Amino acid sequence: MESDPPNPQQSGSASIPSGSNERDIASRRNRLMRITQRTIDTDESGRSSSSSSSSFEEMEDNNNEVDERVDSDDFSANNSPSEHHGLDAEELPEDEAARLFEDYIRERESAATEIYNTELPTEHAYLGKMERVEGVDYLEPGKTYRLPIYSHHSIVYPGEIVPLMLNDSTLYSGRSNDSSDGLKFGLVFQNQYRDSGRVYGVTCQVYERGAEGLSALMKTVAQQRFYIVRHSQERRADVKILPEIVLPDPLISTCSNAMVRYAYSSRKDRLSSFKRLLTQATVWPQFVYDQYDTKEVMTKVERFLSSLNITSVQTDKVKLSFWLARNIPLTEEYRKMIFCTDSVLRRMLIINKALDHMWYFICKRCESEIANYDDMFAMSKQGVQTSYCNPAGYVHDTLTVHKTKENSTLPVDRPSTNFSWFPGYSWQIIVCANCRQHLGWKFVAEKKNVLPKSFFGLSGTNITVKSHGDLKMAEGEFDFNAGTPIVNEQSDLDSELETDEEVY
């Protein structure tokens, strides 16, 4: 009886002809070499020869590895069960080619790009060589001190670094010889409050200064809030230092010492359960205490910062409240309220309300849309908005964004690298395309392999924010002037202090 020929599907030994296998390997090698050659041709001419040689050697090694894997697969297909049966001969080479090409491009991009060092803008190297000044002493809250005061056009929060070029050579010589805290003076915010309200400001500590001359060149850090009690002669005033009030958790403060250790559990679920138990012994339900808890606002803050890829933030509650007021989109009214309130919790509640809205930046003169809030990013270690000083001594609060809306800005003048706030970048003035108001600058990297290649710096003086939702404040909400005695000294102060003239 004549036997039937063996069925490949039963034996699982479907073999691939050697000629077809060799053609597949040759076709794969040619395809990889063509892809690599096109990539190498786009590189700089100075590196083309060495890059081509190393690339072809690398691809040849990869092809040898592919050959060995294909030979191994052929051997397995001829000597193993039907687990490899039905594999398309063209599928493996295409997938392998795509994987090798992606790995190759990823390696070249990581080797060819340089991420900008965000520490450089905080050094303010454009001011030139400066000497260090010792002293970081704080003033006692609630007490009154006499300080030199200078006018500033915008709010400065404690913790900010502010470069200054003051047209006052008497600042250095006017310092008392027994001062142990270096150079300290006050910045008051001109035209930021109603004439019937208090005049607020912030103390500034000099940590670097330039040579003595016609103007005082210095780098300062803002430290403590104050308001003016009495204005005196020769640019000096008596100021009262404001406190920073940090209230404890209302629920935790009610529990006994024996139970307080459960309040600092690292597990959030245990902490929530513990608070629910505590509310059963109080007269108020839990939702009342939740209104004074910062857990909700911190969740929103973490989500907001993750969208901006910002990781270096303050951990201290007082510093964090001021840092957030500087780096999240807020109306000028909200910024004033945050500065004036002494309670850290109230500041966080204002920030919590602001984070519920979607913002965009507009021209302060014509209200044309300039950029979205999600275009912000931190070009400086300090955050998305930082103060920089121009050659004329005007301090710009500069917000960095990846891009502006299409046809919203126009560049003027030629790009320049002189006095650049971001070393390695040239700057060019931009104006509003609608009303020609100065809006800021466009920065372009001088090197080709630096990221970001370009970005925009928007001047906080000439832009403001607008919400997509209704952000009107309810009557009496966050009334920071309630119970505040009125000191009508703003008009007298404005006449005494010099006003800086804005120069681009």
Return the HEC string of 105-161. Answer: HHHHHHHHCEECCCCHHHHCHHHCCCEECCCCCCCCCCCEEEEEEEEECCCCCCCCE
Q: Do domains 244-251+290-356 and 362-467 have the same CATH topology?
A: no
Question: In the chain, which stretches have pLDDT less than 70?
Answer: 1-95, 97, 101, 103-112, 135-136, 168-182, 190-196, 213-214, 254, 256-269, 309-312, 469-504
Q: What is the pLDDT of residue 460?
A: 92
Which CATH number is 125-241 given? Answer: 2.30.130.40
The pLDDT value given to residue 263: 66
How far CA 266 is from CA of 7, 255, 297, 347, in Å, comes to: 65, 18, 19, 26
Fill in the DSSP letter of residue 179. Answer: -
Q: In angstroms, rounded to a whole number, what is the distance separating the alpha carbons of residues 79 and 290?
A: 69
> What's the N-to-C CA distance of the chain in angstroms?
102
Please, are residues 420 and 389 in contact by the beta-carbon 8 Å criterion? no
Question: Of all helices (H) and strands (E), which one includes residue 269?
Answer: helix 268-279
Q: How far apart are CA 355 and CA 360, in angstroms?
A: 13
Distance (Å, whole) CA 198 – CA 489: 8
Residue with tokens 């808890």: 293
**Could you say which of 3.40.920.10, 3.40.250.10, 3.40.50.720, 1.20.58.1480 is the CATH number of the domain covering 244-251+290-356?**
1.20.58.1480
Beta-ladder partners of 161: 221
pLDDT tens readout for residues 273-294: 777 777 777 778 877 777 777 7
Q: What pLDDT does residue 172 have?
A: 59
**With contact defined as beta carbons under 8 Å apart, do 225 and 186 qualify?**
no
Q: Please enumerate in sequence order all residues whose Cβ is within 8 A of that of 38, keeping only pairs 6 or more positions apart, or say none.
A: none
Distance from C-alpha of 396 to C-alpha of 417, rounded to nearest angstrom = 17
Query: Where are the chain's structural domains?
Result: 125-241, 244-251+290-356, 362-467
Q: DSSP for 67-112?
A: HHHHHHHHHHHHHS-GGGTT--TTHHHHHHHHHHHHHHHHHHHHHH
Sequence letter at residue 303: R
Query: Residue 465's pLDDT is what?
Result: 93
Q: What is the distance between the alpha carbons of residues 24 and 32, in angstroms, rounded to a whole number? A: 12
What architecture (CATH level 2) is domain 362-467? Beta Complex (2.170)
* Contact between 62 and 102 (Cβ < 8 Å): no
C-alpha dihedral (324, 327, 332, 337), degrees to nearest 10:
10
